[in-house]
Amino acid sequence: MNGPRHRIFIIAGEASGDLHGANLVRELMRVSAEHGRSKDGAAASSLVVQGWGGDRMAAEGVQLLKHYRELAFMGFTQVLLNLRTILRNIRLCKEQIAAFKPDVLLLIDYPGFNLRIADWAHAQGIRVVYYISPQLWAWKENRITTVKRAVDRMLVILPFEQEWYAERGVHVDFVGHPLLDEIANTGAAATGDEVRAADAPIALLPGSREQEITRMLPAMLAAAAHFPGERFVVAAAPSVPAQLYAELIGSARVEVVAGRTHALLRSAKAAVVTSGTATLETALFGVPEVVCYSGSAINVWLARRLVKVKFISLVNLIMDRAVVPELIQHDMNAERIRAELQRLLHDTAHRARMVADLQDLRVRLGGPGASARAARLVWKSLNEPAERPGTGR
C-alpha cells in the first residue's frame, strides 16, 4: 500500500444520514484507491473509516461502533425523556473518537448531537467537515456561532444554503443533492404522468421513526379506505419492527414493503408522505404528493414559536412557494388527506401543474454527482496542512 493511512470518523444519526453517508463513503474509498494506485496500476485504498451509522454505511466499509437505531429520539419531549441516554452517548462518542485519532471528523446532519461533538473535536485539534447542513435557516440560528467556531468546511445540498452560510462567514461549498445520486444508482426516475400505469399504486410513507409512524399511519389508512378501487402500499422503514406495522394496519387492505421505497416510488401515481427528507425523495421521482405532519401538542407549540420558515416540506422550501399541499397538526386528518388525494387523482389541471413543478425542482437541484463532489472536498480536507497552532496536527 502506498502513502500514509487516512482516518475518518463519521457520524450519522438516522436512516437518511446512513443512506447519504454510505454513498459518500463509497466515493471516498474510490478517491482513496485512485490516490493509492501503485506503479503497476493496482488501486489500494489508504482510508480507514469508523463511526456511528447504519447497515448501509457498514456495507461500504465503515467499522460501525453504534447503530442509529439507538439514537432515534424525535421531538422536544423525547429528547427530554431520554436526556441521560443522550448525554451518555455523547460521552461514549468522544471516547471513541479520542481513541481512534481521526484526521477528519465527518458529520452528517443530526445537529443536536453532531454540533456538540464538533465543538469538542475542534478543541482537540481535529478537523471537522459537516455534510448536509443543519437547517439553521429555519430555526436555532444562534447555532451559527458554533458552526463558525468548530466547522472547518460545510458541505450543503440545497442551493439557497450556500449564500446563507457565506453571508455569515462560514467556509461553504454547494455539492448538489445526494438523493439524485441514489435515484441515478437505481435507474432513471420517472418524471411524467405518461409512464404511470392506470393501476399503479398509491404510496403511503408514514416516516422512519416509531413515534411518527404511530401518529401518521392511522390517518393515512383511514383516508385510503375511501378509495376501494385503488391499490395502496405502505413503505416500511427497515429499522422499525414489522410488528408495529401489523398492529397499526390490522385488517386494512394495504400492502407493506420494506427497504424498497425507491422501487415503490418509481411506479407510484401518487403518495401521502410524512414531512421530512421523504417529501423531496418522492418529488424527485416525479410523484404528486400530499405532505402530512402531526406532533405532540407541546412539540408543535414550541415549533410554532421557534421555526421561522413558511413551509415544512423541502419541496416547497426549495421552490419558495406552495407546490405540494401541507396538512399540519389538526389539518392532518383522514378527511383532509382524502380530499387532497382525490384532487391528485382526478383534477387533471392540478396534477399537471404539480408534475411540471416537480420537474422544475429537479433542474434546480442539478444532476447526480453530489456524493463524488463531496468526497473530493473531504479528501482535500484530509490532505490539507493543519492551521491550528499548538494542536500538533
pLDDT tens per residue across span 28-78: 999 998 887 555 555 556 899 999 999 999 999 999 999 998 875 555 455
Angle between helices 111-123 and 83-100 (to 10 degrees): 40
Does any domain span residue 391? no
Judge whether 390 lies within some domain: no
- Name the pLDDT band for 306 (thresholds 50, 70, 90): very low
Look up cell 385503488; give the residue: 230
The predicted model gives 304-324 an average pLDDT of 79
88-97, 299-308, 354-363: the lowest-pLDDT one? 299-308
**162 and 191 assigned to the same domain:** no
Q: What is the domain-level CATH number for residue 303? A: 3.40.50.2000
Least confident residue range of 43-47, 100-104, 109-113, 227-231 = 43-47
Q: Residue 244 domain-assigned?
A: yes
Q: What is the pLDDT of residue 21?
A: 95
Across 243-262, average pLDDT: 94
Instruction: Say which range, 140-154, 182-196, 210-224, 332-346, has the weakest mean pLDDT.
Output: 182-196
| 324 secondary structure, DSSP code | S
For residue 165, is it within any domain?
yes
Class of residue 69 by CB neighbours under 10 A (exposed 0-12, middle 13-18, buried 19+)? middle
Share of the chain above pLDDT 70, in %: 84
* β-bridge partners, 67: 53
Indicate whether 392 belongs to any domain: no
Q: Is the pLDDT of residue 1 over 50?
A: no
Rounded to whole angstroms, the Cα distance separating 329 from 197 reads 33
Asked whether residue 240 carries a pLDDT value surpassing 80, the answer given is yes
Q: What is the pLDDT of residue 358?
A: 96
Domain shared by 163 and 198, yes or no: no
Predicted pLDDT at 393: 36
* Percentage of the chain modeled with pLDDT above 90: 65
pTM: 0.74
Q: How far apart are CA 253 and CA 256, in angstroms?
A: 10
pLDDT of residue 294: 85
Chain centre distance of CA 331: 25
Residue the block writes with cell 447504519: 54
Residue type, 390: G
Q: Confidence band (pLDDT; 50, 70, 90) for 276?
A: confident
Beta bridge partners of 172: 154
Domain membership of residue 326 (yes or no) is: yes
374 and 357 in a single domain? The answer is no
Residues 192 and 272 in one domain: yes
Listed range (80-94, 112-126, 200-214) with the worst mean pLDDT:
80-94
Q: Which three cell numbers stand for residue 37?
A: 494506485
Into how many domains does the chain fold? 2
Can you tell me the mean pLDDT for 309-317?
A: 83
60-64, 155-159, 270-274: which has the minimum mean pLDDT?
155-159
pLDDT at 388: 45
Same domain, 237 and 280: yes
The answer on 317 and 302 residing in a single domain is yes
Q: What burial letters (b/e) apply to 341-354, b meaning 16+ CB within 10 Å?
A: bebbbeeeeebeeb
Is residue 214 located within the same domain as residue 291?
Answer: yes
Predicted confidence band at 160 (pLDDT cuts at 50, 70, 90)?
A: confident
Mean pLDDT over the full length of the chain: 86
Residues 257 and 335 in one domain: yes
Q: For residues 388 and 52, which has the higher predicted lDDT (pLDDT)? A: 52
Phi/psi for 38 (5° steps) reads -85, 175
169 falls within a domain: yes
Residue 3 or 233, more confident: 233
Same domain as 196, residue 86: no
How many of the other CB atoms lie within 10 Å of CB of 195? 13
Q: Mean pLDDT lowest for which of 2-16, 149-163, 290-304, 372-386? A: 290-304
Task: Please tell me whether residues 211 and 308 are part of one structural domain.
Answer: yes
Neighbours of 363 (CB within 10 A): 8
Domain that includes residue 331, residue range: 187-365
Co-location of 204 and 327 in the same domain: yes
Report d(CA 42, CA 278) in Å as an integer.
Answer: 40
Same domain, 99 and 191: no
pLDDT in the model for residue 80: 58
Flag whether 191 is in a domain: yes
Helical ranges in the chain per DSSP H: 15-35, 55-59, 75-81, 83-100, 111-123, 144-150, 159-167, 178-185, 210-224, 242-249, 261-267, 277-284, 297-306, 314-319, 334-346, 348-365, 370-383
Q: Does residue 7 have a pLDDT over 60?
A: yes
Residue 390 above 60 pLDDT?
no
